[in-house]
Structure 1
Amino acid sequence: TGLAAAMLDVIACTSLYQWIPVPAAYMFVGGLALAGMALAQRWSSGLLACLVSAGTMLLAPLISTGVELPVFLVILAIATAVLASDLGVAVRVVWSVFPAPVLLGYLAQAALHDRGEQIALIVAALVFAGVGVGVAWSDSVRRSPAPENAALVVVPTAVPLLLLATLDLLRPGWPVGLVLAAAYLAVAVAAGRRPGDPGPALLSAVTGYAGSALLLGAWVELGGREATGLAVTLSATAYVVAAGLWARRWVGWVAAIGTAIAMSVYLVVNLPFLALSERQAGRQFDYWDVVSAFAVTVLAVAVTWWAARSRPRAASRVVMVGAVVALLTFSVLVVASGVVIGDLAGATRNGFLAAHLVVTVLWISCAAWLILTPSPRISEARRLGFVLGSLALAKLLFLDLATLPGLFRVLAFVAVGAVMLAVAVRYRNETEPSGSGSPT
């Protein structure tokens, strides 16, 4: 309490009364903090180390009016030194938590500071985060046994980095976010090579979550809702593939969360349900919808592969659901492509109608292939074929019959009828080759 009060007195004498010059104030605050750290080290008191400058850090903005940022940077430097000292894991965790919200607040108001102060904030955030990762690596990987929860210092030290991409000084910000995310993910992969050791496993998970958050946050500054949605979808696909090839729990959680975010963004931004309306599809769909639908289709296929591989007992059900979702998104791709091609040819309506005709034929053809294809798991394939055939008939009767004009409607019914007739004949020949009525 005495040390914190002395620091606050120095700040007040500098900013309110101008009794102490600013450079001298930095020296006084840094000296008091270093004295407190030396005393805490001598007494082996982690509590004293936590309390030396924490009160000053939280109360300085309430006392000071113009010098709080430089003084805070001095205190942040002391906090970084505390992280690198050996006063226990609890001290490191606390000293990584205290500076983070204050540094986050300064970065959020970086536009109010000049160029030099913004550079100082950026450097402080990078150094603070780098020391946090280095300390967590040293405690988790090089110590045996690793201290419990030593990797948690990564989380608060990484939080201020989320705002670096939003600073005007770093425009465009998404390359900065990509570099930071790549650094954290590289640490996660390097630490995750020892799955049997709990210390590196926790460090891998924590840095993996931090890097994933930085990666998804970087796409927000990409510019344009469509481009951001596409980038999120591609990132989710990469995580799904990584989860299938590299069995780590944190990768699976990030893949699941990223998939949910990607699908939500796709539904909100691209509005795929507009494919049911001729007027809305002709007005809204463009080439971004074609690319996004293709990316979401690839994501659906990747998720189906990952889920079927991780849950072999429910693989058939997973494949059925994933196939339906992938076929739906691919159908949106076909409709969007038809609208775009029709718009280029000056016949948007014909492109939309032809695309729906292709979708209906595609569905019934996929159903026929699944019913008739030879497979060791023929019952699951045929069951999925019957489901898709039912969906195709429902689309034909309830959507195409009310939407398509005469010629397209006739073509749709002829194509579906021909495929169904061929399936019926072939299916009967396979199940009753001798005409006795007993299946083989």
Structure 2
Amino acid sequence: MTEPHTAVVARLSADFAALSHQLARVSADLAELDRVLGPRPPWPTPAPPPVPGYGPVPQYVPPPQYVPPPRPVPPPPSNAPRERSDGWIGKLLAVAGVAVTLIGVVLLLVLAAQAGILRPEFRVAAGAALAAALVGAAAWLSSRPGGRVGSVALAATGIAAAYMDVIAVTAIYDWVPAAAGLVLASCVAGGGLTLARRWDSQQLGLLVLVPLIVLAPVITDGITLLLVGFLVALSAAALPVQIGKDWVWLHGARTAAASLPLLLALVVRHIDGRHDLWLAGGCGIAALLALVGAVVVLPGTANRAAVALLSAAGVSPLLCVGLAVDRVVAALMIAALSAAVLTLVLFGDRLPGVLGVARQVFSALSAVAALIAVTVGFDGPVAGPVLLAMAAVTAVAGRREPVARWAALGFAVVGASVHLVVSPLSALFTPTGVSAATGASTLVSSVLLAVATVAIVWSLPGRERALWACAAAVVAYAVTSLTVTAGVLIGGTGHGFYAGHMIATICWIAMAAAVFGYAVRLPRADRSVPIAGGLGLVGAAVTKLFLFDLGTLDGMFRVAVFIVVGLVLLGMGAGYARLLDRQDRQVVTTDTR
């Protein structure tokens, strides 16, 4: 019997559904294979026909295909021409042209005048015309492609030629007064260097300054006060150009323009044996320009160390001003410089750029200037105590600054050297008479030497045992120098000398007792350094007692020193033992509670 048609339709529908599911699985496998092999155009997946009575068959949706990221597009080639490897040849030729042309201008202004070639009016007019033509040609060439090097060289040559022309009409021909010539030269230099700032060319400024430093003395026939004035004016005119510019080389050339001729002039004046207050004033102006230049240039430079060192070199003429003026005037001027630089250091946090290494350089400069001022202004008997007092004050006030600690050590070393010159070490072993002035200086410097030594070691961050041992040795020497000198001043080279050494030995042992008394008040962990110092002082005192006092002192002085030192040692031993026992009992009592 034939099956009903509904059953046949149902069976065929189930077969089609199974076939559709099988085709969907095959399609998924193909899509997975396509994804593994790489990005390819997607395979079309036909939708299975709907099965009547069963609703739509779910379709398989393939996973999203991998799309590689877009490759970066290289930037278009720049149209700017690259600098040629042989570009330095053009710069070298330009510099050589500047030098040769300016030498020719000097020959025109000087040698032609000596040989009587042309009238002075023609020589000066020819120099001015050449300078104007060179500057005009530079302005025209600067707007042309590739004319940068040539325009800089032409402008530098023209500006320098105009400046030397002004020097000639002032120094050689005397057509204008010196003051008017300096003003006119400042205008010429200022205008030319303003062009360097407008073109943003440090090379233009260097090509103006360097040739003038070398060739200007030829026009003035040597290092004269007028030449110094022209070069100082040139340095002043170059200062505003550096505002906001990191032109370290120009700063160096500007500093050299003011300082080098001054140093040479100071040497010449010293050889001639003449005093020159005008030259001293020039040294002061150069130092002021150097410091102001540092304040102007430091905020905009990346090389503060070089700028600070160059500025410090710029004040060197003022440090040597004693070659041309009286020592009192020189000492006052150098002391004023030290105070000005110290003010710059103290208020450096309010000035942009005067920090870090620049502040350290200026601190060292202030210390050096103060040292020179003291040694120039005072003789040895006064200079020694002053330097030792400066060492103590600097060590205490600047204990957190490494430069201040080094400055204090330098003051102390020089002051101690002066003390040894005024009161030699041999005076402690051989009775030697001293004058009242020398004796007073020795007494004061002995006290200050001890104070400065303790202050310096206290200011050091490490405070190692070896440093305290050295400090104890210096203090012992200072005490001996004090007592022996006082004894000689009071009692003469006989009994006074012996009494001084007796008191010195007793002072040594008394200092040891004081150190031990300080040690017992410290915790056990902190006693090692003072105990070692106290034992060192005891050993030194006993050594001096047997090696020097026993053979040198006479009569009752020898007896007194042995008895006093022995009693002090007995008291120290007994007292130290009692204090330690008392402390130990207090510790035990505290622990039991």
TM-score by length of 2: 0.63
Partner of 2:260: 101
State the shift of 1:270 in Å: 2.7
Amino acid of the residue matched to residue 186 of structure 1? T
Matches within 5 A, 1:93-172: 93-110=252-269, 112=272, 118-141=276-299, 149-168=306-325, 171-172=328-329
- Pick closer, same or farther for the CA change 1:127–1:17 going to 2, 3 Å: farther
1:294 touches 1:330 (CA, 8 Å); kept in 2?
Answer: yes
Q: 2:534 matched to 1:385?
A: yes
Q: 2:371 matched to 1:225?
A: no
State the shift of 1:282 in Å: 9.1
Partner of 2:521: 375
Deviations 1:52-75 (CA, angstroms, capped at 9, x unpaired): 232332344456436843134212
1:372 touches 1:382 (CA, 8 Å); kept in 2?
Answer: no
State the shift of 1:400 in Å: 0.5
- Pick closer, same or farther for the CA change 1:292–1:329 going to 2, 3 Å: same
- Give secondary structure in 2 for the equivalent of 1:109: helix
Picking from 447, 450, 453, the partner of 1:294 is 447
Q: 2:342 matched to 1:185?
A: yes
State the shift of 1:76 in Å: 2.2
State the shift of 1:31 in Å: 6.9
- Pick closer, same or farther for the CA change 1:304–1:152 going to 2, 3 Å: closer
2:457 touches 2:471 (CA, 8 Å); kept in 1?
Answer: yes
Within 2, Cα distance between the matches of 1:15 and 1:271? Answer: 63
Q: How much identity, in percent, do the aligned residues show?
A: 23
Deviations 1:262-311 (CA, angstroms, capped at 9, x unpaired): 2333333432442122246799962221122122122112112212xx11
Within 2, Cα distance between the matches of 1:15 and 1:289? Answer: 65
Runs of 5+ in structure 1 lacking a partner?
A: 434-438
- Give secondary structure in 2 for the equivalent of 1:375: coil
Amino acid of the residue matched to residue 237 of structure 2? A
Picking from 70, 75, 78, the partner of 2:234 is 78
State the shift of 1:33 in Å: 4.3
Deviations 1:24-75 (CA, angstroms, capped at 9, x unpaired): 5947866764564344334322122123232332344456436843134212
Partner of 1:5: 103
Partner of 1:426: 575
Partner of 1:311: 462
Q: 2:548 matched to 1:399?
A: yes
2:395 touches 2:455 (CA, 8 Å); kept in 1?
Answer: yes
1:16 touches 1:65 (CA, 8 Å); kept in 2?
Answer: no
Amino acid of the residue matched to residue 356 of structure 2? A
State the shift of 1:139 in Å: 3.3
1:367 touches 1:386 (CA, 8 Å); kept in 2?
Answer: yes
Runs of 5+ in structure 2 lacking a partner?
A: 1-97, 121-171, 583-587
- Give secondary structure in 2 for the equivalent of 1:173: helix
- Pick closer, same or farther for the CA change 1:159–1:10 going to 2, 3 Å: farther
- Pick closer, same or farther for the CA change 1:182–1:255 going to 2, 3 Å: same
TM-score by length of 1: 0.82
Amino acid of the residue matched to residue 8 of structure 1? V
Larger displacement relative to structure 2 (12-21 or 199-208)? 12-21
| Number of residue equivalences | 420
State the shift of 1:399 in Å: 0.3
Structure richer in helix, relative to its length: 1
State the shift of 1:389 in Å: 1.0
Bigger relative contact order, structure 1 or 2, given CA contacts below 8 A and separation 6+? 1
Partner of 2:128: none
Partner of 1:335: 484
Within 2, Cα distance between the matches of 1:379 and 1:42? Answer: 69
Within 2, Cα distance between the matches of 1:72 and 1:132? Answer: 15
1:219 touches 1:228 (CA, 8 Å); kept in 2?
Answer: yes
State the shift of 1:17 in Å: 6.0
- Pick closer, same or farther for the CA change 1:242–1:429 going to 2, 3 Å: closer
1:57 touches 1:99 (CA, 8 Å); kept in 2?
Answer: no
Within 1, Cα distance between the matches of 2:223 and 2:106? Answer: 12
Within 2, Cα distance between the matches of 1:199 and 1:61? Answer: 35
Partner of 2:507: 362
Within 2, Cα distance between the matches of 1:251 and 1:120? Answer: 34
1:293 touches 1:333 (CA, 8 Å); kept in 2?
Answer: yes
- Pick closer, same or farther for the CA change 1:288–1:38 going to 2, 3 Å: same
2:331 touches 2:373 (CA, 8 Å); kept in 1?
Answer: yes
Within 2, Cα distance between the matches of 1:119 and 1:430? Answer: 69
Partner of 2:126: none
Amino acid of the residue matched to residue 179 of structure 1? A
1:282 touches 1:348 (CA, 8 Å); kept in 2?
Answer: no
- Pick closer, same or farther for the CA change 1:277–1:151 going to 2, 3 Å: same
Within 1, Cα distance between the matches of 2:190 and 2:286? Answer: 18
Matches within 5 A, 1:202-217: 202-217=357-372
- Pick closer, same or farther for the CA change 1:129–1:14 going to 2, 3 Å: farther
Partner of 2:14: none
Partner of 2:494: 349
> Greater Rg, structure 1 or structure 2?
2
Picking from 421, 440, 456, the partner of 1:268 is 421
CA RMSD of aligned residues (A): 3.5
Matches within 5 A, 1:3-42: 4-5=102-103, 8-9=106-107, 12=110, 16=114, 19=120, 21-23=173-175, 26=181, 33-34=189-190, 36-42=192-198
Within 2, Cα distance between the matches of 1:120 and 1:17? Answer: 33
Amino acid of the residue matched to residue 448 of structure 2? A
Within 1, Cα distance between the matches of 2:192 and 2:466? Answer: 63
- Give secondary structure in 1 for the equivalent of 2:320: helix
1:136 touches 1:151 (CA, 8 Å); kept in 2?
Answer: yes
State the shift of 1:384 in Å: 1.9
Larger displacement relative to structure 2 (285-294 or 384-393)? 285-294
- Pick closer, same or farther for the CA change 1:408–1:180 going to 2, 3 Å: same
2:374 touches 2:387 (CA, 8 Å); kept in 1?
Answer: yes
- Pick closer, same or farther for the CA change 1:65–1:131 going to 2, 3 Å: closer
Partner of 1:89: 248
Larger displacement relative to structure 2 (96-105 or 387-396)? 96-105
- Give secondary structure in 2 for the equivalent of 1:200: coil
Amino acid of the residue matched to residue 163 of structure 1? C
1:226 touches 1:288 (CA, 8 Å); kept in 2?
Answer: yes
Within 2, Cα distance between the matches of 1:147 and 1:370? Answer: 47
2:259 touches 2:316 (CA, 8 Å); kept in 1?
Answer: yes
- Pick closer, same or farther for the CA change 1:57–1:11 going to 2, 3 Å: farther
Amino acid of the residue matched to residue 193 of structure 2? M
